[in-house]
Amino acid sequence: MVGQVNGRPIFANDILEPIADQLLILSEETKLDITAFKNSAKQQIANQMRSVVKSELLLSEAKSGMTVEENRGLFSYLQRVREDMASSAGGSQSAVTRLLLDEEGQTVDEFLDFKQQQVLIDQLLREKVSSHIQVTWRDVMREWEKNKDEFNAPGKVTLGMIRVSSEEEVEIVKELFSHGDSFTTVATNAGMKNGGVWDTFEFGEEGLSGIEVADSIKAHITSLNENEIAGPIKIASSYYWFTIIKVQEAKTASIWEPQIQLRLREYLFSIRNMVEENRFLDRILAEGSYDEFNGMVERILHVAVTRYMH
């Protein structure tokens, strides 16, 4: 035992077992250097310890406020979970136990105890945190104005280009294409960087014909479909092949679309819920009864060194 939280004993295994794999890897990486192991393991142990302390304090808070009716409802819920598990295993409790031990490393009673804790903590956070969060229409509009460019973006096209300067090179490129090689492969063999990716252009009002490239090039690509190739094309003293590598369709959206409003509301709610939940947890930690935190971490760290570094 390394300490207590609201009178419940906390054992080293409660903290070490969930992070056993990370500590084992750390012991191998530090190659029996105890100081290096302790420096890295301490933060992992502290994080896990903080999670356990918060869960215990939240669970205590949740249980202290439960009514008789809520207790009965929770008992009924857990009984239904137990019955559903047995039904899915053909009515065999032993089959359920074997399955849980194989998949979760828990007995049925341990699993139901975990479910009970989960339900109680979720209900407490809904009552104390989530139910008090409001997202107004003004909030939604303000978030839309800040981020509407993410919902509205012009279409784009990524073009590929191969450029050679002699007729001999033209014949080599044509030969490669005749073998069925992809544009990327041919471009790479012809010495083009990035597999022949040229650039990405925003569509103009006229679509592909409105992109900002020279008219001498545009005339050869406006009729292309994705992955089609045009060339060889002689422009000045060089020969070119062009292709459309990727087309990104334009994104258009309006604040008046229900799914956009819902998405913004859910985002704002999640951010505020996280902030308020952290404040609530900090208050629970400040008011809770538990042994000195750093002292518990040091005692667990001593156990970890003994277990993983010898």
Q: How far apart are CA 100 and CA 104, in angstroms?
A: 5
Query: Do the beta carbons of residue 2 and residue 284 sit within 8 Å?
Result: no
Report which of 295, 306, 304 is spatially closest to residue 16, judged by C-alpha positions. 304
> Alpha-carbon Rg of the chain, whole angstroms?
32
Instruction: Decide: 185 and 173 in contact? Cβ < 8 Å.
Output: no
Tens of pLDDT along 61-80?
888 878 888 888 888 878 88
Give the model's pLDDT for residue 7: 78
Place of tokens 């229900």: 258
Question: Which residues are CB-neighbours of 179 under 8 A, at least 6 positions away?
Answer: none
Which of 24-28, 39-43, 117-121, 291-295 shows the lowest per-residue confidence on average (mean pLDDT)?
A: 291-295
At 93 the pLDDT is 66
Range in 80-84, 124-128, 180-184, 235-239 with the lowest mean pLDDT: 80-84
Q: Give the pTM.
A: 0.62
Q: How many other CB atoms are there within 10 angstroms of residue 197's CB atom? A: 18
173 pLDDT higher than 70: yes
Average pLDDT over residues 239-256: 90
Q: The tokens of 94 are what?
A: 């032993």
Q: Cα 131 to chain center, whole Å?
A: 26
Structure tokens at 57: 């304090």
Query: How many other CB atoms are there within 10 angstroms of residue 134's CB atom?
Result: 9
pLDDT for 92: 65
For residue 133, pLDDT beyond 90: yes
Give the chain's domains with CATH numbers: 3-133+264-308 (1.10.4030), 156-248 (3.10.50.40)
| Cβ proximity of 231 and 239 under 8 Å | yes
Instruction: Classify 157 as helix, strand or coil.
Output: strand
